[in-house]
Structures are given as structure tokens and as C-alpha cells.
Amino acid sequence: MQGINGIVYLILAACLLPYAFTIIAKLAGGFKPKDNQNPRAFLANTTGLAARANAAQQNSFESLPLFIAAILMAEYMVVQQVVIMTFGIAYLILRVLYGICYLANWAMLRSIMWLLSMLCPIFLLILVIRLV
């Protein structure tokens, strides 16, 4: 993954990740076709693994704007590709680990994975600020 192609793949993967947690939430919660009339109400009323998967999905969507902005700004400001890709891939790996920790109900480790994942786009933005 080099150049802009790598950036596009990073953004695509980050955008698709929350949907993996959505599928897990629906499967774990016993989602049925009739529940598709109001899937948000269904997910809001789940418990256990399904509720944790839904929370991981929501948090994954919440972190996307910062990640996408950081990646695009770093690309625009011509931060070295290896740096962008390193922090972008680290973000994705940490977000997957975050989700696994959420599903497993490992609260402390989940918080650590969340913090580390959020530091990736923050660091990229700090690099951008230094280039301005």
C-alpha cells in the first residue's frame, strides 16, 4: 500500500470496521427480519455481548472523524507516507483490539486500547501542526 492508494484503503477499512461490530451485535442479540423495522431500538434494548458489540460499533463511528481528518491532513501537508501508513495501520490494529476487548468485557484493557488508538490520529495532527 503506497501513496494515495494506501490512504484510501486505510480510510475504507476504518469506515467498514464499525459494521463488523454491528453484525456481531445483531447476531448475538438474536436479530430477526421483523426487527429490521426499527433496528436501533432493537440494538438499544440488547444486553451482554450484543450490547457491548453495539457500544463498540458506536464508539468506532465516533472515532472516525478524527482519524479521517488526521489522515487527510497529513497527506495534504505531505507528511512522509511511511509515517502516515504506520500510524494509520496502528490505529486500525488498535481499534480491532479495542473491539475484541469490548466484546470480551475486559474494561481496563479496552480503555488502554482506546487511548492508544486515539493517540495515532492525534500524533498525526501534531505533525501537521508542526509543518504549518
Domain of 121, CATH number, reads 1.20.120.550
Q: What is the pTM of this model?
A: 0.92
* pLDDT, one tens digit for every residue, the chain (132 residues): 456 788 999 999 999 999 999 999 999 999 887 778 888 888 899 999 999 999 999 999 999 999 999 999 999 999 999 999 999 999 999 999 999 999 999 999 999 999 999 999 999 999 999 988
Domain residues for the domain of 40 are 3-131
pLDDT at 32: 82
Q: Check: CB of residue 83 under 8 Å from CB of residue 74.
A: yes
Own/partner pairs, 24-31, CB within 8 angstroms, 24+ separation: 24/49, 24/50, 24/53, 24/103, 25/50, 25/51, 25/53, 25/54, 25/57, 26/50, 28/53, 29/54
Q: Which three cell numbers stand for residue 63?
A: 472515532
Structurally, the chain folds into a number of domains equal to 1
pLDDT at 2: 56
